[in-house]
């Protein structure tokens, strides 16, 4: 998976090739990519075969096979999910990349539902919580980079930042923003940031 990110591959298309047994040069249909994307994101939430089947419109049996195949192809992801739940059980919390903690009082609960929810939260928090850490670090660095410019950071929406940019600064900003955000934090895989502009946020999308 890291190799796919490092080489700039479409991670959802690459996952589709792996879980559907396609050759590396085979085209991936939009439907197969959509199903692979659901698996990629679903794994982060500890999704069950039932949940994946509901999300993608496939049978529960197919969903179970997809999840099994996914973990065969990406054993490091399976190890991560197991290790993070084990850590949570032993310590009662999980951490983000910036060491923010989320405590999980139900991680060893006798109630299956409470325990299962805590396990899914344990898997998800370090990923989504770390994404929140990274965008906040990027915002601090962007604020510093814009200190002597008229461009203003207006809004953060999930992993996007929205700026108000004078026309005379646009050329510089189109290069500056991705560079600063790319370097927000050092990871094993590159952070790749794209920039778009328009008269409105809708146009920029």
pLDDT in tens, 67-80: 888 888 889 888 99
Cα–Cα distances (Å) from 39 to 46, 50, 124, 125, 149, in that order, read: 10, 12, 14, 18, 42
DSSP per residue, 129-160: IHHHHHHHHHHHHHHHHTTTSS-EEEEEETTE
187 pLDDT exceeds 80? Answer: yes
What is the dihedral sign for C-alpha 133, 135, 136, 140? positive
Q: What pLDDT is attached to residue 176? A: 94
User: Among residues 133, 135, 202, which one has the least CA distance to residue 143?
Assistant: 135
Q: Which of 16-20, 36-40, 86-90, 183-187 has the highest mean pLDDT?
A: 86-90
Q: What pLDDT is attached to residue 122? A: 95
Residue 103, strand partner residues: 93
First-residue to last-residue Cα distance in the chain = 27
User: Does the pTM exceed 0.85?
Assistant: no
Q: What pLDDT is attached to residue 117? A: 93
200 pLDDT exceeds 80? Answer: yes
DSSP per residue, 148-203: TSS-EEEEEETTEEEEE--GGGHHHHHHHHHHHHHTSS--SS---------SSHHH
Residue partners of 193: CB distance under 8 A and separation at least 6: 177, 178, 181, 182
Percent of the chain scoring above 70 in pLDDT = 100
Contact 42, 54 (CB under 8 A): no
Residue 99, strand partner residues: none
Q: What pLDDT is attached to residue 74? A: 87
Rounded to an integer, what distance in angstroms lies between the CA atom of residue 149 and that of residue 145?
A: 8
Contact 16, 30 (CB under 8 A): no
35 pLDDT exceeds 90? Answer: no
CA atoms within 13 A on the CB side of 69: 17
- Average pLDDT of the residues in 45-66: 83
- Average pLDDT of the residues in 23-40: 84
> What ranges do the domains of the chain cover?
1-73, 134-204
Q: Which fold is adopted by the domain 134-204?
A: Alpha-Beta Plaits (3.30.70)
pLDDT in tens, 128-157: 999 999 999 999 999 999 999 999 999 999
205 pLDDT exceeds 80? Answer: no
SS (HEC) of 94-108: EECCCCCEEECCCCC
Rounded to an integer, what distance in angstroms lies between the CA atom of residue 184 and that of residue 133?
A: 10
Q: Residue 38: which pLDDT band, with cuts at 50, 70 and 90?
A: confident
More confidently predicted of 201 and 162: 162
pLDDT in tens, 92-122: 999 999 999 999 999 999 999 999 999 999 9
Q: What pLDDT is attached to residue 26? A: 79
């Amino acid at each position: 998976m890291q190799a796919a990110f490092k080489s700039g591959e479409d991670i959802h298309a690459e996952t589709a090739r792996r879980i559907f047994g396609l050759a590396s040069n085979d085209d991936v249909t939009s439907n197969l990519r959509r199903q692979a994307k659901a698996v990629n994101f679903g794994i982060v939430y500890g999704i069950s075969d039932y949940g994946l089947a509901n999300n993608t419109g496939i049978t529960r049996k197919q969903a179970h096979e997809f999840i099994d195949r996914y973990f065969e192809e990406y054993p490091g992801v399976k190890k991560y999910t197991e290790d993070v739940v084990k850590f949570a059980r032993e310590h009662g919390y999980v951490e983000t990349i910036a060491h923010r903690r989320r405590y999980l009082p139900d991680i060893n609960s006798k109630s299956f539902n409470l325990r299962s929810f805590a396990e899914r939260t344990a898997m998800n928090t370090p990923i989504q919580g770390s994404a929140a850490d990274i965008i906040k670090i990027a915002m601090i660095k962007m604020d510093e980079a814009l200190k002597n410019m008229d461009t203003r950071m207006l809004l953060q929406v999930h992993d996007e930042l929205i700026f108000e940019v004078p026309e005379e600064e646009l050329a510089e900003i189109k290069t500056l923003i991705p560079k600063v955000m790319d370097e927000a934090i050092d990871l094993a895989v590159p952070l790749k940031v794209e920039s778009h502009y328009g008269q409105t946020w809708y146009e920029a999308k």
